[in-house]
Structure formats: C-alpha cells, structure tokens
Amino acid sequence: MTTATAAVLYQVKQPLVVEEVELLDPRPGEVQVRWVANGVCHSDYHLMSGDVPHPLPVVLGHEAAGVVERVGAGVTSVKPGDHVCSSYIPSCGKCGYCINGQPTLCALRDSPRWFMLDGTARFRKNGVDLHHYLQVAGYATHAVLPEPSVIPIRKDAPLDVVCLVSCGVLAGAGPVFNRAKVPVGATVGVYGCGGVGLNTIQMARLVGAAKIIAVDVVGKKLDWATEFGATHVVDASREDPVARVQALAGGGGVDYAFEVVGTQRTIEQAVLSTHRGGTTVVVGVSPAGTRLSLDPQLFLQQRVLTGSSFGAGHQRTDVPMLIDLFMDGKYKLRELISRSVGLEDVNHAYDLLLQGEVKRSVAVYS
Ligand code: CU
C-alpha cells in the first residue's frame, strides 16, 4: 500500500476534494502508475454536474500520462519505468470487437468501468472504497489500472503535453481518418471548436480537406478554429449555421459534418448541413436523456449519421501515432494548452472551461 493525492468527487454540484488517499498494491494483471499530468476534459464535468449519473465517491480524470512504477503478476505489455498514456476505453485484444478491428468497442465496456476488472477498488479513504473513473483516475498522483487501460508510448515525449492525446486529441482527430475517412479535397463542417473540436479541424487540414467550416457561438473559439486550420468560420449566435454552412460549402452542403458539442440542436444542425449522401459523425457527449428529432427523409436521401468512440480506430496504435506526428512537428499539441494547474486548482480549471476561456488546461503533478 502507498498513498496518493487525489481529486475526489463526493457529491454532485460540490467541488472536488483534493486529499491524501490510500492506494492498494496492484494485483495480477494490474499496473501502478505515477501520473505526471491529466488534461481537464469536459466529460468529468458531466459527473460533477450530475448530468451523467455515476457511483460516488469517485477519483475523476481520464486523460492522463505517466510512468509505470510497479506491475502485478502476469503483466507483459509494460514494465516499471515505461511511459504510458491512459486508455479510458480498455482493449483486451481477445473479444470479437478487438479481433474484428473495433477495439474502442471492446467487450470490457460491458462491465462497470469504475473498479478494476475483478470488481474491486484500489483507492480507499477512511475505510471507504473510492471508484476509479473509467479505470484511469487521472486526477491522482498515483493510481492502479488494469493492464488493458495503459498504452505504452515513447519516452522522449513530454508527458505534460501528450496526456491530451489520451482523450481529447484522439477523440477529435480519430473520427476524421478512422470513421469518416475524409479524402483529399473534401468539404467538412465542424460544430464545436473547443479542446476536442480543434483536433477535428486540425486533422481535417492534415488529411487535405479543401474547405473546413467551423461553427461555434463563442467568438474566441472561432479565432482558435482559424489558428488550427479552419478555412471559414460561422458564428451560430448571429446567423443560422445550417444555411450558412450550406452556402459556404456549395453543392447543397458539406461532404462530412462533425458534431463536437453533444446537444440535440447541434447534432440536428450537423446532419442538415450535409448534402444528400453526406456523412455526420457525432463526437460530442450528450447529457443522459438527449433525443433527436429528424425527418427520416434525410436518410432516404442516403445521408449517414454515425458516431465515434475514442477515435473509432485502434487506440493502442493511434495514440503513439499521434504522438509521433507531434514529435515530428506535424501536429500541434502545445498550442492546445491554455494553462497548466496543480491538482489543488482543478476546480478552478473547470470554472474556466465552462466559461469558454480555455482550449485545454492540464493538471500537472511533478
Ligand atoms: Cu475526455
């Protein structure tokens, strides 16, 4: 057993409590990691606000990078000293989904992902078990994870930057090359230009999309969108984004629309922005209970509405690949980080995120 400092959610609509907790030893098939950094992602906030119900108390954070400290018996993919990113969707490599090339849909998702694979916790405080958010618990200086939840990465990559790849970067960029498979010269619309949507925009540029039309309601985010490669911006607080995107794209609408907000309105707008036969990919996480209202005629016209989980590809190879692109100077990651904070300032980082003041903040521990 050791101790860790962790940010714990005890009650919805209450600040996270940053405190010392007990961390039990890794069991067979588990890995103890010293987290170095964790990106401040909106998904955790859905638990803090209660929009997504979750058992409490829980150590939040699911976008982490760190160094392996110890491994339990039978662990073969990493050893102490290895650098890793977290994989908030584990990949077992053995189930039908993994074998058939869809490891972000791995069967391990069918079990609750708030404890280890044996159904027990490794965090404890005053005799009470703490849940591990998505089996990652990145808002902790140390954590234990199932082996399928860690992805080995190159050691020369800065952990306080590449932690972002563990969720927001792959979630935003992956749908472009894995799900939509956007070809050179395509027209693309992106609804939502925060820390995830900027990656959709950046990857659309990298694969050679001709028009990249960014939509948001916050002027500052539209400025960011331009920095990351948008060719046109639409302020949806001032004009009807559907009509504007269609006009800018020409030909009845965009070839591909990406929805990176997670609301009924923006998903419907994204679909309506595509021309006949166009494809819409939902990337944003909607609050529980969200429903769509769309004319089925849209789909008789061969439009496709699909979605993406953690990049919709192969997380164990996509994460290192994106890190390689960054290390080669072909992909912007540092520019995504508006500020770094200590673990004790995570609550404040969420305030700024909600105010639309930051692209991404990163909590850094050492
Ligand atoms: Cu996330």
Report CA(285)–ligand 1 centroid distance (Å). Answer: 9
Instruction: Determine contact, residues 61/139, Cβ cutoff 8 Å.
Output: yes
Q: Check pLDDT > 90 for residue 139.
A: yes
Compute the distance between CA of residue 307 and CA of residue 282 in angstroms, rounded to an integer. Answer: 4
CB contact set of 50 (below 8 Å; sequence gap of 6+): 12, 13
Q: Check residue 152 and give its pLDDT.
A: 98
Q: Check pLDDT > 90 for residue 358.
A: no
Q: Check pLDDT > 80 for residue 366.
A: no
What domains lie within the chain, and their CATH numbers?
2-166+333-364 (3.90.180.10), 172-308 (3.40.50.720)
Q: Which of 242, 266, 256 is nearest to 212 (CA)?
A: 256
Within 10 Å of residue 11's Cβ, how many Cβ atoms?
11
Q: What is the pLDDT of residues 312-354, one digit of tens each?
A: 999 999 999 999 999 999 999 999 999 999 999 999 999 998 9
Structure-token pair, residue 106 = 């791995």
Q: Where are the alpha helices (DSSP H) in 21-155?
A: 42-49, 96-99
pLDDT band at 239 (very low <50, low <70, confident <90, very high): very high
Q: What is the pLDDT of residues 49-94, one digit of tens each?
A: 998 899 999 999 999 999 999 999 999 999 999 999 999 999 999 9
Q: Check residue 70 and give its pLDDT.
A: 98
Report CA(57)–ligand 1 centroid distance (Å). Answer: 19
Q: Check residue 4 and give its pLDDT.
A: 98
Catalytic residue among 42, 43, 87, 106: 43
What mean pLDDT is predicted for residues 88-107?
97
Report CA(63)–ligand 1 centroid distance (Å). Answer: 6
Report CA(64)–ligand 1 centroid distance (Å). Answer: 10
Instruction: Determine contact, residues 268/294, Cβ cutoff 8 Å.
Output: yes
Enclosing H/E stretch for 191 = strand 187-191
Report CA(272)–ligand 1 centroid distance (Å). Answer: 27
Catalytic residue status for 85: no
Catalytic residue among 62, 83, 132, 142: 62
Identify the residue with better confidence: 153 or 353.
153
What mean pLDDT is predicted for residues 216-232?
97
pLDDT band at 299 (very low <50, low <70, confident <90, very high): very high
Structure-token pair, residue 51 = 């929009």
For the whole model, what pTM was predicted? 0.96
Catalytic residue status for 193: no
Catalytic residue status for 348: no
Instruction: Determine contact, residues 257/274, Cβ cutoff 8 Å.
Output: yes
63-76 burial: b if 16+ Cβ within 10 Å, else e = bbbbbbbbbbeebe
Report CA(298)–ligand 1 centroid distance (Å). Answer: 31
Catalytic residue status for 92: no
pLDDT band at 287 (very low <50, low <70, confident <90, very high): confident
Q: Which of 302, 350, 266 is nearest to 40 (CA)?
A: 350
Catalytic residue status for 131: no
Q: Check pLDDT > 80 for residue 31.
A: yes
In a 10 Å sphere around its CB, with 0-12 CB exposed, 13-18 middle and 19+ buried, how is residue 312 labelled? buried
Within 10 Å of residue 273's Cβ, how many Cβ atoms?
29
Q: Check residue 12 and give its pLDDT.
A: 97
Quote the mean pLDDT of the chain: 97
Q: Check residue 19 and give its pLDDT.
A: 98
Catalytic residue among 42, 46, 132, 142: 46
Q: Check residue 208 and give its pLDDT.
A: 98
Catalytic residue among 98, 106, 163, 167: 167
Compute the distance between CA of residue 151 and CA of residue 317 in angstroms, rounded to an integer. Answer: 9
Q: Check residue 153 and give its pLDDT.
A: 98
Report CA(132)–ligand 1 centroid distance (Å). Answer: 14
Q: Check residue 136 and give its pLDDT.
A: 98
What mean pLDDT is predicted for residues 353-357?
86
Structure-token pair, residue 140 = 């902790």
Report CA(168)–ligand 1 centroid distance (Å). Answer: 5
What mean pLDDT is predicted for residues 298-306?
98
Q: Check residue 357 and give its pLDDT.
A: 82
Report CA(279)–ligand 1 centroid distance (Å). Answer: 24
